[in-house]
């Protein structure tokens, strides 16, 4: 009886197409990367960026039990999450090449590109410590993380079973513009954070130009996202998934503005608000990227998914 059940389970597992397994892995990596960026933001606002003075170990050990406190834990857990994502990226490359005969031809190369990005991200992570949180490296560190996150969203969305309605029109172009603008605004926000521009502006009227640039920079991505949301809602034949993503984008950009205003007026004194501000911005970017990829699959001949 047990052998029969085991045989049935194995047979059921064998029916799972490699593309489905890889898509699941990619989206899990994307969630882990979103968590990684949130932890990185918490590490910064809690002044824990140098809580582990060495790299890649922490106080010369894998687990610094003797030195462990909240700040050390944040920095250590940030590195742990990054390491796990790196291992998942290696697994993604291995699976993509092992099953390459059953997968789209572009997938192994895309997986290799994602692995290259996470390696680059790890190098930047080490430099943030060895270069004592130099602002340009910290900004590039987040920029690379967002690029890696977006790459995962692109790969996962391309692997989704999807048949468009042909009513997408120019929405993919608007989605692409909104995604680029959100990415650039996120980089500007990272620069503000890494230089502590808000604190310096409020305390001594220094770096106010950087802070004001970030505030003014809210307008273009907000307008682009609002236009995308409104036009999507006014397109009756739009695919339900695209409509849902447009709803998410509109809600996230509104939430992001509320969090940004609250963070500013509270002078960054409420750390969870600051962390949420960064996490919501990254989530908005992911939604816009997913919308754009699905929209382009309607405009152009889709990359074969062997479905």
What average pLDDT score do residues 258-283 get?
89
**pLDDT at residue 10, as a whole number:** 45
Q: Domain check: are 75 and 172 in the same one? A: no
Question: Is residue 140 domain-resident?
Answer: yes
CA atoms within 13 A on the CB side of 295: 25
Question: Is residue 13 domain-resident?
Answer: no
Could you tell me if 241 and 293 are in contact, meaning their C-beta atoms sit under 8 angstroms apart? no
Q: How large a percentage of the chain has pLDDT more than 70?
A: 93
Residue 163 has pLDDT above 90, yes or no: no
Residue indicated by tokens 């120019």: 170
- Measured between alpha carbons, how far is 195 from 295 in angstroms, rounded to an integer? 37
Q: Domain check: are 135 and 34 in the same one? A: yes
Question: Is residue 114 domain-resident?
Answer: yes
Give pLDDT tens digits for 41-64: 999 888 888 999 999 899 999 999
**pLDDT at residue 15, as a whole number:** 63
**pLDDT at residue 306, as a whole number:** 43
Range of the domain at 280: 165-306
Model pTM score: 0.90
Question: Is residue 87 domain-resident?
Answer: yes
Q: Domain check: are 182 and 299 in the same one? A: yes
Question: Is residue 2 domain-resident?
Answer: no
Question: Is residue 6 domain-resident?
Answer: no
Give pLDDT tens digits for 66-86: 999 999 999 999 999 999 999
Q: Domain check: are 202 and 107 in the same one? A: no
Q: Domain check: are 139 and 171 in the same one? A: no
Among 142, 161, 180, the domain-final residue is 161
Question: Is residue 266 domain-resident?
Answer: yes
Residue 252 has pLDDT above 70, yes or no: yes
Q: Domain check: are 241 and 204 in the same one? A: yes
- Measured between alpha carbons, how far is 159 from 27 in angstroms, rounded to an integer? 11
Among 161, 178, 212, the domain-final residue is 161
Q: How large a percentage of the chain has pLDDT more than 90?
A: 74
Q: Domain check: are 183 and 57 in the same one? A: no
Residue 146 has pLDDT above 80, yes or no: yes
Could you tell me if 152 and 30 are in contact, meaning their C-beta atoms sit under 8 angstroms apart? yes
Q: Domain check: are 171 and 155 in the same one? A: no
Among 161, 189, 205, the domain-final residue is 161
**pLDDT at residue 307, as a whole number:** 45
Write down the H helix ranges in 99-218.
Answer: 107-130, 135-158, 171-194, 197-204, 208-216
**pLDDT at residue 175, as a whole number:** 97
What average pLDDT score do residues 141-153 get?
97
Q: Domain check: are 58 and 191 in the same one? A: no
Q: Domain check: are 169 and 122 in the same one? A: no
Q: State the average pLDDT for the chain.
A: 90
Give pLDDT tens digits for 83-122: 999 999 999 999 999 999 999 999 999 999 999 999 999 9
Number of domains in the chain: 2
What average pLDDT score do residues 262-275 get?
85
Residue 124 has pLDDT above 50, yes or no: yes
Q: Domain check: are 86 and 155 in the same one? A: yes
Question: Is residue 12 domain-resident?
Answer: no
Q: Domain check: are 109 and 73 in the same one? A: yes
More confident site: 207 or 213 = 213
């Amino acid at each position: 009886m047990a052998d029969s059940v085991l045989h049935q389970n194995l047979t059921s597992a064998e029916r799972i197409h490699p593309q489905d397994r890889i898509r699941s892995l990619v989206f899990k990596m994307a969630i882990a990367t979103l968590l990684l960026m949130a932890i990185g933001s918490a590490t910064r606002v809690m002044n824990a960026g140098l809580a582990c003075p060495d790299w890649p170990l922490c106080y010369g050990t894998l687990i610094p039990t003797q030195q462990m406190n909240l700040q050390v834990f944040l920095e250590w857990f940030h590195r742990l999450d990054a390491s796990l994502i790196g291992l998942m990226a290696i697994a993604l490359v291995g699976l993509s090449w092992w099953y390459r005969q059953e997968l789209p031809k572009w997938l192994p190369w895309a997986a290799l590109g994602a692995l290259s990005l996470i390696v680059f991200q790890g190098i930047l992570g080490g430099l943030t410590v060895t270069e004592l949180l130099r602002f340009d490296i910290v900004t590039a560190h987040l920029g690379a993380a967002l690029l890696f996150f977006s790459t995962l969203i692109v790969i996962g969305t391309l692997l989704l079973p999807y048949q468009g309605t042909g009513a997408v029109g120019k929405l993919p172009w608007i989605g692409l513009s909104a995604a680029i603008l959100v990415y650039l605004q996120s980089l500007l926000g990272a620069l503000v954070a890494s230089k502590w521009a808000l604190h310096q502006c409020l305390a001594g009227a220094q770096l106010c130009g950087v802070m004001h640039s970030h505030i003014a920079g809210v307008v273009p991505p907000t307008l682009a996202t609002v236009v995308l949301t409104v036009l999507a809602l006014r397109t009756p034949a739009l695919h339900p998934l695209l409509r849902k993503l447009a709803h998410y984008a509109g809600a996230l950009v509104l939430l992001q503005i509320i969090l940004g205003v609250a963070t500013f007026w509270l002078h960054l004194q409420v750390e969870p608000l600051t962390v949420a501000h960064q996490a919501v911005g990254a989530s908005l970017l992911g939604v816009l990227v997913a919308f754009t990829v699905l929209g382009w699959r309607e405009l152009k001949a889709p990359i074969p998914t062997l479905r």
